[in-house]
């Protein structure tokens, strides 16, 4: 596979940044021929022009950097126009149940790098707990779960009293406790922090198979 | 290739514009009868499609049945909106019904979000297939939507100009007091208008779901905006105008996107609206420029 074409949700910051600042740049550096990109907006419903651009580009790899609603819209239009790249790659935030609810058939085989899949005993237990309440643990809700657990850890380690007269003191302690953290334990392992507090999380690759997300590659192993 | 792509863009845009036309007809019909804008119209239309999809998923059945179920549910929603947002609200205050329907719009959107967890729902294909004509591709489902828009226009025009209900509706629209004096029940006529437009809306919502392939709360705002643009360009109260304006807006979107890109597309569509507001405020089929 030598060429790549992008599809990008132009009015959403992280969709744009993922394609323009990460995937497109890295693809060119790695020797892929970047054949351009088709653009659309978050609420768009008509993808005829964009799918035609993808068809004309006839790239080996198609990357869709968009949310599930428009990812599905574009995939459906690509299917109508017979656009069939050798490899289909999606945006992290599309590796959720939403994409499969919207277009499981068209999304079949799409590969997405993600920060969550139930690949550890802790992650499996959390996913099972969510399922008990008809929920689906995905990269978004797993991150929320981890955040709550981080707060729990800080509350316990900083000796938060949670009494009316310790309120201000408790707030300060929580802030200080969070600022002190250099790394935390997440569902997939250790999450480290950059100097400007960005998280560096363990990740893996999933792909859509028969209406489910399956782990394709797990660098943790 | 440039000309082929441009022609294909125009064709795709016109056909997709049929979905805007269907929503525009609903907006314009309510305005034509009551001189009010029902801001909840597109939300209720998408709501009808959601209800139909839920029912079809639960009890099974062919995809086309969802169109009929959506129409029936849309009719009920229409009646509900009339009772809640118009019936007991002073119609003399132009802002009152506008705000009540904005409230209903937000409520409908919230109900959709809460009942579906905001997840996009796959909508089955009602009419599929693609017709290949050399380099050109014509989507069967959009041709079906187009045909439905024309059929809806003919049925509504028949209802308005060839039936007693239509005569009563036009009488209420033109002279409500005189209509009352000759024994026409204004509230009943208004309620029936909302049921009819609601049925059309539900049907349109299901068709749009099928054409897009998905239902999502994200559909509500763009459809409302497109519906309003179509209503203004088509001329408030003009059903043929709504059809032509829907197709025109669909085409303009695709052509502007083709030439100027997606980020500039809506600027030009709004410019088109502005041009109509300035030079043809009565809409496409108005014979005179009526301005202060």
Q: Give tens-digit pLDDT for B137-186.
A: 898 888 988 898 888 888 988 998 999 989 998 998 888 899 999 999 99
Instruction: Provide the mean pLDDT of chain B.
Output: 91
> Using CA atoms, how far apart are residues A135 and A141, in angstroms rounded to an integer?
9
Of A41, A46, A101, the CB nearest to B120: A101
Q: How many folded domains does chain B comprise?
A: 1
pLDDT at B291 over 60: no
Contact yes or no for A69 and B121 at CB 8 A: no
> Using CA atoms, how far apart are residues B160 and A190, in angstroms rounded to an integer?
69
Nearest-CA residue of chain A relative to B259? A49
Contact yes or no for B120 and A10 at CB 8 A: no
> Using CA atoms, how far apart are residues B184 and B176, in angstroms rounded to an integer?
9
> Using CA atoms, how far apart are residues A59 and A84, in angstroms rounded to an integer?
9
pLDDT at B91 over 90: no
**Could you tell me the domains of chain A?**
3-115+203-217 (3.40.50.2300), 121-200 (no CATH)
Task: Decide: B36 and B30 in contact? Cβ < 8 Å.
Answer: yes
Of A46, A73, A97, the CB nearest to B119: A97
Query: What is the least distance, in Å, from the CA of B83 to any CA of chain A?
Result: 31
pLDDT at B270 over 80: yes
Q: What is the pLDDT of residue B247?
A: 94
> What is the domain range of residue B44?
2-279
Q: What is the pLDDT of residue B69?
A: 96
Q: What is the pLDDT of residue A196?
A: 85
Whether B150 is in a domain gets the answer yes
Whether B180 is in a domain gets the answer yes
The residue-averaged pLDDT of B265-277 equals 94
> Using CA atoms, how far apart are residues A89 and B204, in angstroms rounded to an integer?
33
Helix, strand, coil share of chain A (percent; to 5): 45, 20, 30
Nearest to A73, CA basis, from A48, A50, A49, A45: A45
Whether B254 is in a domain gets the answer yes
pLDDT at B261 over 80: yes
Nearest to A62, CA basis, from A6, A1, A16: A6
pLDDT at B194 over 80: yes
Whether B108 is in a domain gets the answer yes
Whether B117 is in a domain gets the answer yes
> B137 Cβ partners below 8 Å, 6+ apart?
A80, A81, B8, B130, B131
Chain A residue numbers touching B257 (CB-CB < 8 A): 49
pLDDT tens digits, B8-65:
999 999 999 999 999 999 999 888 888 889 999 999 999 999 999 999 999 988 989 9
Nearest-CA residue of chain A relative to B125? A76
Whether B292 is in a domain gets the answer no
> Using CA atoms, how far apart are residues B230 and B250, in angstroms rounded to an integer?
10
Look at phi and psi of residue A113 and say left if phi exceeds 0, alpha if psi is from -120 to 50, else beta.
beta
Whether B272 is in a domain gets the answer yes
Contact yes or no for A45 and B212 at CB 8 A: yes
Q: What is the pLDDT of residue B206?
A: 94
Q: What is the DSSP letter of B86?
A: I
Contact yes or no for A103 and B216 at CB 8 A: no
- Report the CATH number that the domain containing residue B175 is assigned in CATH: 1.10.3470
Whether B225 is in a domain gets the answer yes
> B114 Cβ partners below 8 Å, 6+ apart?
none
**Stretch among A23-27, B89-93, B266-270 having the lowest mean pLDDT:** B89-93
Contact yes or no for B5 and A10 at CB 8 A: no
């Amino acid at each position: 596979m030598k060429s790549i074409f992008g599809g990008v949700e132009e009015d959403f910051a992280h969709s744009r940044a993922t394609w323009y600042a990460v995937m497109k740049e890295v693809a060119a550096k790695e020797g892929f021929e970047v054949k351009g990109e088709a653009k659309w907006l978050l609420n768009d419903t008509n993808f005829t022009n964009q799918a035609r651009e993808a068809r004309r580009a006839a790239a080996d790899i198609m990357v869709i950097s968009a949310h599930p609603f428009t990812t599905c819209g574009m995939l459906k239009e690509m299917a109508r126009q017979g656009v069939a790249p050798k490899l289909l790659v999606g945006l992290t935030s599309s590796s959720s149940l939403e994409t499969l609810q919207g277009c499981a058939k068209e999304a079949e085989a799409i590969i997405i790098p993600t920060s969550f899949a139930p690949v550890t005993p802790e992650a499996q237990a959390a996913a099972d707990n969510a399922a008990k309440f008809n929920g689906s643990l995905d990269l978004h809700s797993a991150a929320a779960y981890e955040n709550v657990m981080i707060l729990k850890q800080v509350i316990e380690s900083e000796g938060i009293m949670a009494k009316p007269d310790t309120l201000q003191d408790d707030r300060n302690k929580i802030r200080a406790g969070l600022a002190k953290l250099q790394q935390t334990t997440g569902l997939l392992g250790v999450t480290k922090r950059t100097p400007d507090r960005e998280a560096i999380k363990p990740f893996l690759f999933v792909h859509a198979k028969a209406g489910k997300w399956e782990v394709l590659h797990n660098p943790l192993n | 290739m440039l000309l082929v792509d441009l022609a294909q863009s125009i064709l795709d845009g016109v056909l997709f514009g049929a979905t805007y036309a269907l929503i525009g007809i609903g907006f314009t019909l309510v305005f034509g009868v009551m001189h009010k804008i029902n801001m909840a119209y597109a939300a209720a239309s998408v709501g009808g499609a959601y209800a139909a999809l839920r029912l079809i998923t639960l009890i099974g059945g062919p995809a086309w049945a969802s169109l009929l179920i959506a129409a029936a549910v849309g009719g009920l929603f229409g009646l509900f909106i009339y009772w809640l947002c118009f019936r007991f609200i002073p119609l003399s205050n132009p802002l009152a019904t506008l705000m009540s329907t904005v409230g209903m719009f937000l409520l409908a959107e919230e109900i959709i979000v809460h009942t579906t967890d905001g997840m996009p729902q796959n909508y089955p294909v009602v009419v599929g297939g693609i017709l290949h004509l050399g380099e050109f591709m014509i989507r069967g489902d959009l041709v079906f939507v187009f045909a439905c828009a024309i059929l809806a226009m003919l049925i509504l025009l028949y209802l308005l100009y060839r039936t007693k209900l239509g005569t009563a509706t036009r009488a209420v629209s033109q002279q409500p007091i005189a209509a009352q004096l000759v024994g026409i029940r204004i509230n009943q006529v208004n309620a029936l208008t909302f049921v009819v437009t609601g049925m059309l809306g539900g049907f349109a919502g299901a068709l749009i779901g099928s054409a897009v392939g998905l239902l999502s709360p994200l559909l509500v705002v763009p459809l409302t905006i497109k519906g309003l643009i179509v209503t203004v360009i088509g001329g408030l109260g003009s059903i043929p105008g709504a059809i032509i304006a829907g197709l025109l807006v669909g085409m303009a979107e695709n052509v502007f996107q083709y030439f100027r890109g997606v980020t500039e597309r809506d600027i030009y569509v709004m410019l088109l609206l502005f041009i109509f507001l300035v030079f043809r405020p009565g809409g496409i089929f108005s014979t005179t420029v009526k301005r202060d």
